[in-house]
């Protein structure tokens, strides 16, 4: 018997939206845990930029990995776009909260790690419950 409706991952817009939201949640969680580690364990703010960069990289990689794993095609493009969309979200939040946009270094960091996550997701093992699209 054939399945009547298409998978959520067959739609480019919805799959990108879900992946970017998951990456943003991962980024927020990584930022929270790294800030907690700096405050409670290290009691020093010398490595703030390094922890922030690691949080950004983890969020971009996660978003692109999810998109690549479930879409199963065009991982480099999908990952790069996930990184760009995350940059747009961060930049919009920076403009609303601080009144200034973020630098180009964050865009480069997000796109590179997004592209790596997309390629890794496409080349990973196929999910068991994924139906053909």
The rounded mean pLDDT for the chain is 86
% the chain with pLDDT above 70: 87
For the segment 42-68, the average pLDDT, to the nearest whole number, is 89
Predicted model pTM: 0.84
Residue with the bigger pLDDT between 91 and 71: it is 91
Lowest mean pLDDT segment, chosen from 32-46, 78-92, 111-125: 32-46
Q: Rg of the chain's alpha carbons, rounded to an integer?
A: 17
Domain boundaries, the chain: 12-123
Buried b (16+ CB within 10 A) or exposed e, 45-54: eeeeeebbee
The pLDDT score that the predictor gives to residue 8 is: 65
């Amino acid at each position: 018997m054939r399945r009547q409706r298409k998978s959520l991952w067959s739609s480019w817009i919805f799959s990108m939206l879900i992946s970017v939201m998951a990456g943003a949640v991962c980024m927020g969680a990584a930022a929270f845990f790294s800030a907690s580690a700096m405050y409670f364990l290290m009691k020093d703010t010398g490595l703030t930029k390094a922890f922030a960069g690691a949080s950004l990289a983890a969020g971009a990689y996660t978003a692109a990995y999810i998109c690549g794993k479930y879409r199963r095609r065009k991982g480099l493009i999908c990952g790069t776009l996930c990184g760009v969309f995350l940059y747009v979200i961060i930049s919009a939040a920076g403009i609303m909260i601080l009144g200034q946009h973020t630098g180009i270094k964050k865009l480069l960091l997000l796109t590179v790690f997004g592209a790596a996550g997309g390629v890794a997701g496409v080349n990973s093992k196929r999910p068991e419950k994924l139906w053909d699209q």
